[in-house]
Chains A and B, each alone.
Chain A
């Protein structure tokens, strides 16, 4: 058989996988070990992976050190969910237009949308700050949601357009022949069929919006109650004495929900991440 390995090949592959996964997962493991140490043995020399008196104490004490932890976690989810919702509202009709209609400037506009992918928010902070200020969005959820929506639209359009191109036109033409309006066709014929593609786009958008909640929140929001998890915890970070065990405990608890969601949805997530870039 082509896939039969000799024993030494298996050993080599497993060793390779072990090295690779150690690089990927060691930081999480170390964070967990730190969260279990009492603060005195964190600051102990020499470094030891396992120390005496390990306990889950910091998982209880962190709630008084980081009193708003629940709120930060909620905000992170809220912002990512809102970004996903609004991005889809813009992406679905636009992807449909690019996939199905011939119109002047179509290819140019598609290229322009893709070009947005190259620019990062950090470059545009000064004018963006002005935009947010003028629209009265500073220090609101929308100051963090709006940029996220704008920067996730291009990838969304690209992914969903590829998906829509695969749907046969006959279905719409049938609906069309039956006298359905075009908006009705989009809503009642296209949307249901495109649902798997939309789900993939939604998940990819959510993950992106969830992972990148630092810069805009740091710059456009100064209300602590609205902060997403990364900025909420960042405040505890720059201080002279960082309470590392509680910070690590709070970080791990904070990312636990998204990791659980990931385990259940990983099939879709991987599909969303790998689809698109080149293939039609």
Chain B
């Protein structure tokens, strides 16, 4: 702004006060408090004592590496599927066919409705005796008898992923569709004049040009998927036998269900550490992309 005075201008800080107060109170302070609690034996009892690294030692003694691995496995499969289906869906919706604006409208509902409501419906569909999926698979002869999808470790693991993919795909699709629409049409036309086929144009022009959007969305999606709570909690509560216990579910079970605030906080700290790693990647990526765009102009 055209203010040329040298002394500190407090006006911008005043503008930030409301946002700062809320986020400091609801996010920053709780993060600090979580770190503090992770070194204590806090629980339902009124007193809490400093216990050093005991919570962390206990945590790693209790198959915690396995939980970390499971979390990343769950996240990796889910994000991979969301991206593949999202790219395919965006490419389909980007084609100039009659009815496409209607198709675009129909993509969003899983993301618009409350997550929990969508999960209720899936929970019914996974029902073994009467549910749709088991019923249809039996009809087509792919399974011999009723399959209770949420009752076995493997099927529960992948069932929760499918529901997570269902909820996450619309946003990925719409985001990538927007990126595809931003691809300059003169490039595609030039290739077309040179005789490049539709698939060739998609693979050699559209796909490379939307790569920054794909990378950003993968990372954002990874963060959201890592934090995914409602879906697993409603479907399986982390079971059967911990098959769907990701880090976030593990934290919730320890802290809220078993009232072990100290141990739960230690787990929460681990999550925050992993998330900072993601955050680092994210900022690196944004600055890379921003730089490249400046260079291109």
Q: Does A74 contact B (CB under 8 A)?
A: no
Q: Which of B115, B255, B278, B289 contacts A214 (CB 8 A)?
A: B115
- Stretch from B51-59, B64-72, B104-112, B151-159 at the A interface: B104-112
Query: Is there contact, CB below 8 Å, between B115 and A90?
Result: no
Majority secondary structure of chain A interface residues (helix, strand, loop or mixed): helix
Name the B residues within 8 Å of A89 (CB-CB): 18
Query: Which residues of B from 100 to 137 have beta carbons under 8 Å from A?
Result: 103-118, 120-125, 129-132, 134-136
Q: Given known contacts A20-B89, A123-B268, A214-B115, is B109 in contact with A173 (CB within 8 Å)?
A: no
Q: Which of B31, B95, B134, B271 contacts A47 (CB 8 A)?
A: B134
Q: Which of B138, B166, B283 contacts A111 (CB 8 A)?
A: B283
Name the B residues within 8 Å of A9 (CB-CB): 198
Q: Does A187 contact B (CB under 8 A)?
A: no
Majority secondary structure of chain B interface residues (helix, strand, loop or mixed): helix
Query: Is there contact, CB below 8 Å, between A244 and B124?
Result: yes
- Stretch from A55-63, A194-202, A270-278 at the B interface: A270-278
Query: Is there contact, CB below 8 Å, between A215 and B166?
Result: no
Name the A residues within 8 Å of B278 (CB-CB): 118
Query: Is there contact, CB below 8 Å, between B251 and A123?
Result: yes
Query: Is there contact, CB below 8 Å, between A116 and B23?
Result: yes
Complex: A26 Cα to B124 Cα, angstroms: 13
Residue in B14, B113, B130, B139 whose Cβ sees the most chain A Cβ within 10 Å: B113
Q: Does B19 contact A (CB under 8 A)?
A: yes
Q: Does A7 contact B (CB under 8 A)?
A: no
Q: Given known contacts A42-B130, A47-B135, is B248 in contact with A120 (CB within 8 Å)?
A: yes
Could you tell me the distance in whole angstroms from the C-beta of B45 to the nearest C-beta in chain A? 14
Complex: A157 Cα to B33 Cα, angstroms: 26
Interface bin, chain B: 35 or more
Q: Given known contacts A126-B37, A128-B26, A215-B230, is B276 in contact with A118 (CB within 8 Å)?
A: yes
Q: Does B212 contact A (CB under 8 A)?
A: yes
Query: Is there contact, CB below 8 Å, between B16 and A94?
Result: yes
Name the A residues within 8 Å of B132 (CB-CB): 26, 30, 47, 49
Could you tell me the distance in whole angstroms from the C-beta of A278 to the nearest C-beta in chain B? 5
Q: Given known contacts A212-B115, A278-B216, is B18 in contact with A94 (CB within 8 Å)?
A: yes
Could you tell me the distance in whole angstroms from the C-beta of A68 to the nearest C-beta in chain B? 16
Q: Which of B25, B97, B107, B188 contacts A131 (CB 8 A)?
A: B25
The 4 closest A-B pairs by CB, nearest first: A47-B135, A230-B116, A150-B26, A120-B227
5 contacts between A and B (CB under 8 A): A30-B132, A93-B16, A127-B30, A127-B34, A262-B109
Chain A residues within CB distance 8 Å of chain B: 2-3, 5, 9-10, 13-14, 16-17, 20-21, 23-28, 30-31, 34, 42-49, 76, 86, 89-91, 93-94, 96-97, 100-101, 103-104, 106, 109, 111, 113-120, 122-128, 130-131, 146-147, 149-151, 153-154, 157, 169, 172-173, 176, 182, 207, 210-215, 219, 228-231, 233-234, 237, 244, 247-248, 251, 254-255, 258-259, 262-263, 266, 269-270, 273-274, 277-278, 280
